Amino acid sequence: MAFQQSDEKSTTTTTTTTETHRYYDSTSKEYHNWDANEDRAYHMYVEQTHRTYEDFPKIKTTEQTEYWKWRHDHPDKVIFKSETQEQK
């Protein structure tokens, strides 16, 4: 009796879901998506303002408002440009 090999291939599908966090900026009346870039910007803000790091959702609303004001004055092109210059 001869055994035949199966032509079926085993495949594994991995689904990765990314949880999106959105925060409302009441001063500008807009929502901001929290992603890796926003997290990096927030870390820079904490460092530049000499604050103790806390997760953004845990800080007071007034502190979140201060961050959004700072963030509007520091768009990605300014923040990440300064990081590139510091590495040189």
pLDDT at 34 over 60: yes
**Contact predicate 43/2, CB 8 Å:** no
What pLDDT score does 81 carry?
A: 76
- pTM of the complete model beyond 0.75: no
Tokens of 61: 């609303």
The answer to whether the CB of 79 falls within 8 A of the CB of 44 is yes
Query: What share of the chain has pLDDT > 70, as a percent?
Result: 70
Q: Which of 30, 45, 31 is nearest to 75 (CA)?
A: 45
CB 55 within 8 A of CB 43: no
